[in-house]
Each structure stands twice: as structure tokens, then as C-alpha cells.
Amino acid sequence: MPDQEDLRTVPPPPLQGVRVLDVSTLFAGPLAATFLGDFGADVIKVEHPTRPDASRGHGPQKDGVNLWWKTLGRNKRTVTIDLSTDAGADVLLRLIADADVMIENFRPGTLERWGLSPERLHEANPRLVLARVTAFGQFGPYSSRPGFGSLAEAMSGFAALTGDPDGPPTLPPFGLADGIAALATSYAVMAALRGAERDGRGQVVDMAIIEPILMLLGGQITAWDQLGLVQPRTGNRSVNNAPRNVYRSRDDVWLAVSTSSQSIAERVMRIVGRAELIDEDWFASGHERARHADELDDAVQSWIGAHDAAEVVAAFEAASAAVAPVYDVRGVVDDPQYRALGTVVRVPDEELGDIAMQNVLFRMSRTPGSIRWAGRPHGADTDEVLGEAGFSDADITALREAGAV
């Protein structure tokens, strides 16, 4: 245990003193705010008084309490404001005066219609970083369309690459594009904050959800531009190396094997008793090995299928080859590596008691992030936040009676 002197010298979290207004809904915008809150930012979640963030209704519930919100809403204080009313817009402008960041994901033109254009917001606070997260961006022929991450997964080429070669394109069963956009948004906000720190001027971040996922799909655009290549669907295989697939063990456990480096590919062939394949001319290139994926997959599956999963993992570990079991959530929470990293933590919660969730994204040696509380009830902190902004009890009562908060 550290002594009191040690505790006094522990630096504050890196984003302490940064105030973020999360005026977004569903996943990409709110998750970006969550990432900032995990490292100390004071995140104020702004929701409509009678129409809470729709994410509060997604997924399973316990005793009427949404469980996904407990993670998505962690480290956020929740307030209710009807931004479409003049009084509500005025309340937001009061909050903007002391904020560093605002994240919103209304359709382009909505804030402007409410008298809350970027120009008006920057009049209230020239240092403000305004992150605008939409499906298609703030301009262009699709900018006014409604859209969600699923459309980005389709338009980016991700779905076209995913699935079996003779099957349909496949969408992921979770918000992949939203999550990638959230990471990109939090990065963009940090870059913009650094700029504001340097010259005292904020700016607008235009984040289109269709773009970050496209960046992660690799060099496909360049390959198309230079060679006219269109990457096909290959199931669990890779066009860049082989063997790379999932294989079923004797005790009916699926195991993933990857051979992205030449040395690992050679080790796998020795493990499965097919060392003679290493001497084939085509084996020296990952791309050429991928052309012989049927032969390599047969060799690996035959060996793995004759052994229990524990034997397979032990043999691969002894040979320094890459293998991992295919987990569902039960495997994740029981895995010793995740436990060692502290990837899953238990958080006290006022509604549900002690609950488990994913920890912050990474570890920092000097200024680590933390989960200070789980997602709060709708509007639980309205009086506190407005009081900090200078509203009296009478003001808040009048705003509430008018439906503005």
C-alpha cells in the first residue's frame, strides 16, 4: 500500500479540467465521450427531457435498468435539456461558456435551425472544440440522409469482404463502424484540444462514420488504383498468408491460427507434422501460401482435429507459434490473460450494486484512467450541473416547468 506521501504525489488524470458536453445519441458520439471521461474529463451527458438517448433502450435490461448504458454512460453526469426550445438553447450556451468540447450527432443543419450554429457556439466560447459526428459528413449528396454504422460497414467495403466466398456480404452483429468512429473522434478531439491549447482557438471536427472504417481496411484503394484489384471474400482465410483460419479440435473447441510471419508459418508446419511443405518453392511467400490454402488448411485441421484444445495450445506455445481459442463472453471473463491485464473490472452502481464491465482501453504508467461510476439515471445531475453554471433553484424550477429541462 502506498503511504500518504505517495498519495499526495500521484498526478491527476490527464484530462482532469477538460469539460465535455456529450450532446449525441446512440453509439459513435457517446462512446467517444466515454473514452474522454475514462481519463478524467468532466463529461456532461445532455439528453432530451422526455426522449432519453436511444442507447438506454438497446440490449438487455435488469429490473428495468439498461445494462449497455452502464458502460456507455460511465463517468458521465446526466442532465436533461430540450435544445429545440429557446430556453433550452440558452441553457446550453451557458454551459458552453465553461466547456472545452461538445460532441453532437444531429443531422446537418439541426443545430443551425435551433440557433446553435458553430459560429454562435464559438461566439460563446472561442476555445470550443465542436465534434460533429454523422453517418456521411456535413456536406455532399448524402449528408442529409439518416444513417447508422451498418451503412458505413456496407459502403466502406467491409461487408463485401466479410463472409464465405459463395455466401452473401456479412454485417457484424455489433456497432463496429460506430466503435471505430468513436476512437477516431476521441483522437480528433485530442488533436483539436492541442491546437486550442497553442493558440486559444477551437474548431469544428467533421467526423463521417463512413470514413474511419475505410482506413482500417488496408491498401485496397491503392491496389485498385494501380492494379485494378478487387479483394474477394475469403471467409476466415487471408489473401496475404496461410494457414490462417479457425480449426476445430477433437474436444469440439474452435481455435484460431495465424501465420503472418514466415517463421511462424514454418513452426506451424513442423507442429502438424508436415515439415516437407516448407521446402516447396511457394511456401517462402505469404501471398503464394495463400494460393495453397486448401492444402495447408487440410494439414492443420487434420492435426488439430486429432488433439484436444489444451494439447494444441500447449504444443503451439512450446513452439512459439500463434494460436488462440475462439471465445464467447464466458471465455473472455475466465481467461487468465484478461484477468492479469484487469480487462474486466467490477464497478459499484447505485441501481444494480456491483457490476462487471470492460476496463479503460489501455494502461498508463503515470496518469492512468479509471471508472469512477457507472452510467447514471436519466437527468440525475441536472440540478447540480445547472447550479454550477449559475442557475438558481428558482431558475431551474422555472426551466423545468417550461419543459426546457
What is the full DSSP assignment across 245-280? EEEE-TTS-EEEE---SHHHHHHHHHHTT-GGGGGS
38, 42, 178, 297: the catalytic one is: 178
What is the full DSSP assignment across 23-54? E--SSHHHHHHHHHHHTT-EEEEEE-SSS--G
Interstrand relation of 254-257 and 323-325 (parallel, antiparallel or unpaired): antiparallel
Diameter over CA atoms, the chain: 84
Interstrand relation of 76-80 and 65-66 (parallel, antiparallel or unpaired): unpaired
For residues 107 and 142, the answer to whether their CB atoms sit within 8 Å is no
How many Cβ atoms from other residues are within 10 Å of residue 3's Cβ? 7
Catalytic residue flag (residue 178): yes
For residues 327 and 253, the answer to whether their CB atoms sit within 8 Å is no
Q: Rounded to an integer, what distance in angstroms lies between the CA atom of residue 77 and that of residue 264?
A: 48
Phi and psi, residue 275, nearest 5°: -60, -25
Would you name the residues annotated as active-site residues?
178
